Structures are given as C-alpha cells and as structure tokens.
Structure 1
Amino acid sequence: MESLGAIIKQWPTGKNALQEADRLLGELLGDPLVERLRAEHPELDRETIRLNLNRVYQYVKEQRSCSDCPGLDRCPNDFEGHYTLLSCETVGETVQLNDRKVMCNKLRTRQNEEQIRSRVRSFYVDETALSQGYSADEILTSDLKRSKAVMQVFQYIDKTKESGLQRRGLYLAGSFGTGKTFLMCYMLYELAKAGYTGAIVYMPDFVEDLKMLMHEPGKLKETVDLMKETDLLIFDDIGAENLNPWARDHVMGAILNYRMNRKPTFYTSNYDLDMLERHFSFTNREGDELHKGQRLMDRVRPYVDTVLVTGHNKRGV
C-alpha cells in the first residue's frame, strides 16, 4: 500500500476528491482490521474514523506489512521495526483516536542479541564463535566422546544462573580440535544472556601484542583493567604462547592476583596443570625459573575445576 499522502496527490480536485475520500473511507470501514477495532471500541463511529483517516490508513497499511513481513532489513513501515497501534478514549462527548508506534518482535529480538553481544569482548578470537546461535542438544550429541565435559560446562552455567557468579572457574584440557574454545564461547554467550560480562583472550597473539603495549601504558592499563574487572575471563590456548618474564609476572600475575577469590577465570589448553606449571617456569629470556612458575600456578590451580575434553579433532572437517 502507498502512503495516504501519495494517494491524495493522485486524487482529482473539488467534488471528485470528496468522492474519493468517501470511497477510501468505505474501504477502510470494510477492512477486517478496522471491523475488529470497532468491535473492541463500539464508541468509534464513522465520523471519528473520517476525521482520523490518515491514522486509520497507516494502521491498516502497517498491520498488513507486518503480517507478510519481508524481514527487518526490508521493513516497509515508516519507522523501521515498528508498527502503528490505535486506541480510543472518550473526553466529554468527544471520541478521540490515538496512535502510537510499537516495536515489533523482530526488532526486539535483534536488540536483545546486540545487547548480549555487547557484554562479551573478544581479543584475537574469531567473532563468529561468539555471534552465532547455539543449540545445547547439538553440542551434546555432535561428539558423544566429549559428552562428560559438555555436561560439566552445562552444570557450571546452570549453577551460575541459579546462585550467581562463582569464584572458581574451569580449566578445559584436551588435545587439538576437540571443541574447548567452542564450549567456552557457548558458556560466555549463555551467561551474557543472563546479564554477565565476559572476555575471551587468545593467548599466543595476546602475548605477542603485549610487546607493543609496553610502549603504550594507557592502552595497556585499559586492557589489563578490563580483564581484571570482567565477570568471566577466558584465557584461550594457554601454554601455546611464547612467554617472557614481564608478561608472566607483571601482566598475567597482576590479572590473576586481582581476580582470585573475586571472579572466575577460565582456561583452555593442550596441557594439563602440571605441564602448564613447567611452561610457566621457563622463559626464553631467563631460562628455568621454577619458583616463579609455581607462584603463578598458585593463582590458577586452586581456583579451577579441571574438565578433560576428549573427542574427535573437528578442525578441517
């Protein structure tokens, strides 16, 4: 349907214009939407509809568009993602017809999804892992060999939703391509829907970028503070990074020291905890530093439950 203004421009002038207006009024009065509106508001008479012809026409036009919605990006309504809703009220002896714009379900869903995504930050991790929809059934059944690990993650999500943010996190250990990162992204997405903020950090790239951030103290502080304060922090593929003493002691140490006993930290790794400790105890610059590796692990080991993720390598499939 065209806009009423466009239709009026095509009308003849004078008496014929009045006839066209009466014809349009008759069409609207016979429309099922208007008939239903009048059944809900018996006080809505013909004259009131005639005086509010533009409102009634807009209402019918937009309701029809919504009933055959072409999608939010191609919304034909004047105000994208909204439709006109009419209501009646009687003031003295006068019947007033009021209109208002109402957000449609598709726009409401989109805004909810954008709000969820805004709660999650990604550092060097593929954004599609966080933006796509997830099916719990598919995650559970796609690889039955990892079903025990999946159930542990599901239980953690449920516990957080029921009783609030936990102090302990999870340490997902397993071989390449078994879906550890995917499970953590699923957890972030589900808990973001519950209102929690989160960040996932791909450790090999993060440690490399720290070398540049050393010369940008303001940006470094902003990054570290975000990782300290976010509700859920995931260090992805920890143990694969080329660690140096400064990154280990002054960045990782500071973040984990702040978060322990406050907020949960999560990890994915191809190493178990003992292997990770050996990794932390050796740097290319200073060689073997067992006590410093142990000191960092004191901020990891007591604050996680280990989840062994087994299954098939899904990369390249």
Structure 2
Amino acid sequence: MKSISQSMQGFSDRTKVQKQLMAVKSKVLSHPDWKAFYQAHPYITEEMIERSLPRLLEYVEGTKDCKGCQDVAHCHNMIKGYEPELFINGGIIDITYNRCRSKEENDELEKLQSLIKSYFIPRDILSATFDQFDKKDTERYQATLKAAKFVESVSDPDIEAKGLYIHGSFGVGKTFLMGAIANALAKKKIQTMLVYTPDFFREMKTSIGDQTVDEKLDVIKKAPVLVLDDIGAESMSSWVRDEILGSILQYRMMEKLPTCYTSNYDYDELEEHLAYSQKAGIEQLKAKRIMERIKHFTTPVNLNGANRRVN
C-alpha cells in the first residue's frame, strides 16, 4: 500500500505534466500561423488538436519568417532551406516540409554549376555572370557582347560556332569573362570545361608515371565547350605542344567542338612562345601548325584596361 507522501508525489507529477501540456497547447493555439490554418479548416476537433500536439509544437517552434532571408546559408529554419507546412493527415494534423524560394534558387544554381567542370580554376570564377561587367567600361562591355554572341552561336545547332581568343594584360578579367560564358551556357544546358592550362600541362607530365595521360586527355578533348585559360603561361616542351595541345586541338577540329582561350599573348606572340622549347630549341613549323588550328577556329578579342587584381 502506498504511503500518503508517495501518493502526493504521483499527484504532483501528474499536475506538472498537465501544466506543461497546457503551456504547449497555449503556445500552439496563440501562434498566428495556427490561427490561419484553423480558420481554413473549421472541422478540426479538440481531440485532433490533442493528438497532434507534438507535431504542432514542432511546427510553431520550427516556423520562421523567410521574408528577410538572404540565402540558404543564413536560413534560421529547423531544416535549412525548407519551410514547414501543416496539413490534415487522416485524424491528425501533420507537417510537411517544402523547399523555400532561396533553396530552390540554390538548387538550380548547383544544378547549373554541375554543368561547369574545371581544372585548377578558382571557385569565384565559376559563379561569374555577364551582369557583373560594367557597361560604362566600353572595352570590357564590347568583349561581353562578343562573348554573348558566342554563347548564342553555340546553342544554335545550325551554326558552326567559332571559339574566342581573348588576350590582354594581367588582371583585366579574361578568365572572369570565360566563367560568365560557362554560366550562360549552363543555363542552356551546355557543358563547359574550364582548364587552367599551366597546371593542367604539369599534371599531364606527372601522369606519365601512373599511365593516366590518355584517360585525362580524353576528358578534355571531348568537352562540348572547352576553355584553355592562360595559354602561354606554361613552360613549353615539344611533348606538351605536339602530343597534348596538338592532340586536343586536332580532335576538337575534327569533331567541330568550339574551343576558347585566354592569354597574355596575341596570336603572333603565342606562336613565338610555342616555337621555343628548352630541349628542342626553336621549331617554328610545329608552332605554326598549332597556331593555324587556333586562328582558324577562333575570333580574337583584345581585352585591356586597369588590373582588377590590384587593390
């Protein structure tokens, strides 16, 4: 038989639980979103509310105001990027989670950027857009117009698109413009491969040892749109020029795949660079063959101005 003190303790515990439940219920029923939901569903009974209290509490505690949200990274919702929504599920009130506007935009951006592949390209370049170029800067703006025209030609199956050869001094935005091209093409569901040429050539040399040269070369050769960034900045060897670069350009010429370039050199200066290798000396004929493939399938764009990398 329980003592009086034990019985009183049990009563006290039940009273405490009842008070907690009443507090939860009061919190739920006073929430403005619940009031709106209840008005839209007048057939909801007290019994349904009682059975649904745990889910309703999850809803009111997880509901946040998304109006002032900047992006998914700053989301305050319990599940980032998802807004809770109440619905009737049989005899209870349940919750479903829907993607918010920021989450939808973020997912779409990730989907687009999955169409942009890169080797050794800084991440900020992969999010570049044409809108980020100042229209008041005449030279850069003219370059963006040519870039936009290239995007349109690539997306038109009736046009054999010529690539772009964007050359100019350091830090003027050549690579950034290529990133904008890649993003514009991604919106048209066209994949682009951006390659920082000096690092890629170095990797190809080290790949001789593990016999992965052909495998890596195939990925670059077959890209629907290829960007060779900063060509001419590498230390040239006859093997890189003839077996790597020559192989890439020959395949893409045969398959009519557009290739774009950025360089600090114009056509003539790049030809001079390609002609010289430390071991073989000057090989003008081989350099000229490479340059003929570049010149014939690209439109030169001279991009100059202030160095944007200087603070």
Counterpart in 1 of 2:172? 178
Counterpart in 1 of 2:220? 227
Distance change (3 Å), C-alpha of 1:23 and 1:242? closer
Give how far 1:139 is off.
Answer: 0.7
Counterpart in 2 of 1:103? 99
Query: In 2, Cα distance between the equivalents of 1:276 and 1:68?
Result: 51
Counterpart in 1 of 2:45? 45
Q: How many residues align?
A: 299
- Tell me if structure 1 keeps the 8 A contact 2:51–2:92: no
Give how far 1:135 is off.
Answer: 6.0
AA matched with 1:180? K
Counterpart in 1 of 2:6? none
1:1-317 alignment, distance < 5 Å: 13-64=13-64, 66=66, 72-73=72-73, 77-88=77-88, 95-131=91-127, 134=129, 136=131, 138-141=132-135, 143-160=137-154, 167-218=161-212, 220-260=213-253, 261-317=255-311
Distance change (3 Å), C-alpha of 1:206 and 1:67? closer
Query: In 2, Cα distance between the equivalents of 1:147 and 1:72?
Result: 32
Query: In 1, Cα distance between the equivalents of 2:177 and 2:154?
Result: 16
AA matched with 2:189? G
| More displaced 10-residue stretch of structure 1: 65-74 or 105-114 | 65-74
Query: In 2, Cα distance between the equivalents of 1:74 and 1:271?
Result: 43
- Tell me if structure 2 keeps the 8 A contact 1:59–1:83: no
Give how far 1:36 is off.
Answer: 0.8
State the superposition RMSD in angstroms: 3.0
- Unpaired segments ≥5 residues, structure 2: 1-11
| More displaced 10-residue stretch of structure 1: 48-57 or 19-28 | 19-28
Identity in percent? 29
Give how far 1:19 is off.
Answer: 4.7
Query: In 2, Cα distance between the equivalents of 1:172 and 1:221?
Result: 28
- Tell me if structure 1 keeps the 8 A contact 2:72–2:106: no
- Tell me if structure 2 keeps the 8 A contact 1:175–1:270: yes
State TM-score, norm by structure 2: 0.81
Distance change (3 Å), C-alpha of 1:262 and 1:38? farther
| More displaced 10-residue stretch of structure 1: 226-235 or 111-120 | 111-120
Give how far 1:187 is off.
Answer: 1.4
Query: In 2, Cα distance between the equivalents of 1:153 and 1:117?
Result: 18
- Tell me if structure 2 keeps the 8 A contact 1:174–1:308: yes
- Tell me if structure 2 keeps the 8 A contact 1:63–1:83: yes
Query: In 2, Cα distance between the equivalents of 1:178 and 1:63?
Result: 46
- Tell me if structure 2 keeps the 8 A contact 1:58–1:84: no
| More displaced 10-residue stretch of structure 1: 257-266 or 67-76 | 67-76
| More displaced 10-residue stretch of structure 1: 241-250 or 140-149 | 140-149
- Tell me if structure 1 keeps the 8 A contact 2:166–2:262: yes
- 3-state secondary structure, aligned to 1:157: helix
Query: In 2, Cα distance between the equivalents of 1:39 and 1:116?
Result: 41
AA matched with 1:83? E
Query: In 2, Cα distance between the equivalents of 1:68 and 1:289?
Result: 63
Distance change (3 Å), C-alpha of 1:307 and 1:33? same
Distance change (3 Å), C-alpha of 1:161 and 1:247? same
- Tell me if structure 2 keeps the 8 A contact 1:125–1:202: yes
Query: In 2, Cα distance between the equivalents of 1:198 and 1:146?
Result: 22
Give how far 1:96 is off.
Answer: 4.0
Query: In 1, Cα distance between the equivalents of 2:61 and 2:179?
Result: 42
Query: In 1, Cα distance between the equivalents of 2:176 and 2:69?
Result: 34
State TM-score, norm by structure 1: 0.80
Query: In 2, Cα distance between the equivalents of 1:237 and 1:298?
Result: 18
Give how far 1:53 is off.
Answer: 0.9
- Tell me if structure 2 keeps the 8 A contact 1:165–1:263: no
- Tell me if structure 1 keeps the 8 A contact 2:178–2:227: yes
- 3-state secondary structure, aligned to 2:13: coil
- Unpaired segments ≥5 residues, structure 1: 1-11
AA matched with 1:245? S
Query: In 2, Cα distance between the equivalents of 1:76 and 1:63?
Result: 9
